[in-house]
Each structure stands twice: as C-alpha cells, then as structure tokens.
Amino acid sequence: MNVRKAVVPAAGFGTRFLPVTKAHPKEMLNVVDKPLIHYTVEEILGAGIRKIGVVTSRGKSALEDYFDRSPELEAFLEAKGKLDLLEEMRAIAGLAEFSYIRQPEALGLGHAILMGETFVAGEPFAALTPDDIYDCRPSCTKQLVDCFAERGGTVIVLGRIDAEGTKKYGVIKPKKITDRVFQVLDLAEKPGPERAFSDLGVLGRYVFTPGIFDAIRRTPPDARGEIQITDAIRVLLEREPVYGLVFEGRRYDCGDKWGFLEATVELALKRPEFKDDLNALIDRLRRR
Ligand code: G1P
C-alpha cells in the first residue's frame, strides 16, 4: 500500500531551546527565512505525501495560521503591488492538506503519534519530528518510503552516532541486510555508551505500519510517565519485522541550540543571495 499520510508530532515544550520556546512554538523557529516545520513539510512533499496530520497542543496556533490563507496580508501585498510575495504566501497555504490534532497532555512521543490514529485510518504512514532538518536528495522520508515499499514493514531512519549520541537517541541492535539496510532485533531509548547495542541511532523519522497503534496502546509509560515510541517499537517487534535505513544526506538537530546554529549558517551558505556576503563575514571573523 502506498504511503499517503504523514503525522508530525509538534506538541512538545521545546525545553532544549528555552527561553525562546517559553512563548514561541519551537516548530516555528526560523532557519534562514522559513520555520522548521516548513522544512518538514517540504521533506514530506518530497516523498509524494500530501495529507499531513500535525499533533499540536496549547500555544501552538501559529502553526495553523502559518499554513492557512491570510486574507489581510494578501490584500495588503496586492495593494502594494508586491505580487511575487503574494504568490509565495498563497502557495504556502496550498502546499498540502493539513489536519490538526490536539494532544491534551505532554505524555511522550509515542502518545503523540497515537493521537494521529483516527487521521491515519488504518494506512501505513510516515512520522517526522520537526526538530530535525534533513537536507537530502531524494528527501529522507522518500528514502524511507522506498525502503518500506521494498521490505513491506516498518522502517526507521538510522545514523551513526558517537558516545554522546547514545544519551540523546534511541539505539538499535542491528542485523545487517545490506550496507544501508538493517533488520532491527531490539532497541533501547537513550541507553548511554555502556548499554548501547551499536552505534546506530534512531534519528526522528519513521514509516510505520498501522500495527504501531496497537503496540503503543500496549506500551507502559516509562519512569517519567511518558510513552516512548522506542518502547512501542519493541512491542511491535514481537509481531512484525522492523527495518532500519541509514539515510544519505545531511541532518541538522535543530531542537538543540548548536545544531540550530549549524543549520542556519550552512543552509544560508547554500543560498545564492547570501553565499558571498556570508563567506566574506566568516573570513573577516577568522582574521580577527
Ligand atoms: C525522540 C525519540 C528517540 C529518538 C529522537 C530523535 O527523543 O524518543 O528515540 O532518537 O527523538 O530525535 P526526543 O528527542 O524527543 O527526546
């Protein structure tokens, strides 16, 4: 079955990015000139998916406004003759078919994905955390969707991580199938270097069979009272095979202040209108 839907959990507090996230959704943090979630949506569209369910919470209405029409702004731009900008603003509202689902309490990533069950309606679906920007061709989600089509089972994105990464990410116990594809035999959430099965970390992108919802429901909350998606995938493993794909491209962890700065500089360097000035600035700073 084709993957036609994506769930984007966007209900978290963004504690790694306080203080700005105290009064501003982290998904709306700006990288060069677009909010993080716009990059997420472009990645989803790159996989041919147009139905997007965004899981939000209180204080996140800016996300809905961003992907909606804005008649006042459009009238203003039209009156001022700024027709290119007008087109650009209208296009954002027409990018995809958006649904918004509320998560009433911050009960973990697994629980947030469970909120998407009615929207998904028994189909396979992609799930993406907007904290990450994946700069890949084809899009990272497209790479996962292709792997899903080939293997016919849940696929999670993998990347090589260092000892520090084992404290930040889920880690899998792999059985190698090809250079980039692994069968997942087991996995642990943020195990730390001593307990990590491997150096293959789970990096915030998934294509799930609908079986994940039952698995999430059967997953007990962790010590902090949250339902982790990693624990739910372990439950899923009892019934279905799960695969991991090492993605090709570049990933920026923008939920983290340093990753966000890296993304801002590197993605600005890729833009023709900023490239020369930014390179000149970097040279000047280096000579100081
Ligand atoms: C979540 C997942 C973790 C995964 C990470 C990727 O953690 O629980 O398994 O490795 O996303 O970004 P969080 O970053 O929400 O703490």
- In tens, the pLDDT along 93-102 reads 999 999 999 9
CB burial readout 198-217, b (16+ within 10 A) else e: bbbbbbbbbbbbeebbebbe
Q: At what angle do helices 83-93 and 71-79 cross, to 10 degrees?
A: 160
220 CA → ligand 1 middle, Å: 17
pTM of the model: 0.95
Please identify which residue in the block is written with the tokens 């040279």.
Answer: 283
Contact between 34 and 267 under an 8 Å Cβ cutoff? The reply is no
Mean pLDDT of 270-281: 96
Residue 288: predicted pLDDT: 86
159 CA → ligand 1 middle, Å: 13
Tell whether the model's pLDDT for residue 153 goes beyond 80: yes
Residue 1: predicted pLDDT: 77
Paired with 125 in beta bridges are: 5, 208
Ligand 1 contact via 169 beta carbon (within 6 Å): yes
Structure tokens at 203: 């990096």
Q: Which residues contact 199 (CB under 8 A, 6 or more apart)?
A: 160, 161, 162, 165, 171
Residue 149: predicted pLDDT: 97
Rounded to the nearest integer, the mean pLDDT of the chain is 96
Q: Which fold has domain 5-255?
A: Spore Coat Polysaccharide Biosynthesis Protein SpsA; Chain A (3.90.550)
Domains in the chain: boundaries: 5-255
CB burial readout 69-108, b (16+ within 10 A) else e: eeeeebeebeeeeeeeebeeeeebeeebebebbebeeebb
CB atoms within 10 A of CB 126: 26
Mean pLDDT of 156-162: 97
Contact between 119 and 207 under an 8 Å Cβ cutoff? The reply is no
* pLDDT band of 66, cuts 50, 70, 90: very high
pLDDT in tens, 116-136: 999 999 999 999 999 999 999
Contact between 250 and 241 under an 8 Å Cβ cutoff? The reply is no
Residue 160: predicted pLDDT: 96
* pLDDT band of 233, cuts 50, 70, 90: very high
Ligand 1 contact via 187 beta carbon (within 6 Å): no
Ligand 1 contact via 202 beta carbon (within 6 Å): yes
Tell whether the model's pLDDT for residue 230 goes beyond 90: yes
Separation of alpha carbons 5 and 160, rounded Å: 28
Residue type at 34 in one-letter notation:
K
* % the chain with pLDDT above 90: 97
Contact between 228 and 188 under an 8 Å Cβ cutoff? The reply is no
Tell whether the model's pLDDT for residue 283 goes beyond 80: yes
Ligand 1 contact via 143 beta carbon (within 6 Å): no
* % the chain with pLDDT above 70: 100
Q: Alpha carbon of 254 to those of 15, 18, 44, 76, 243: distances in Å?
A: 12, 13, 17, 33, 25
Contact between 213 and 229 under an 8 Å Cβ cutoff? The reply is no
**What ranges in 136-225 are assigned the alpha helix state H?**
140-151, 192-195, 211-217
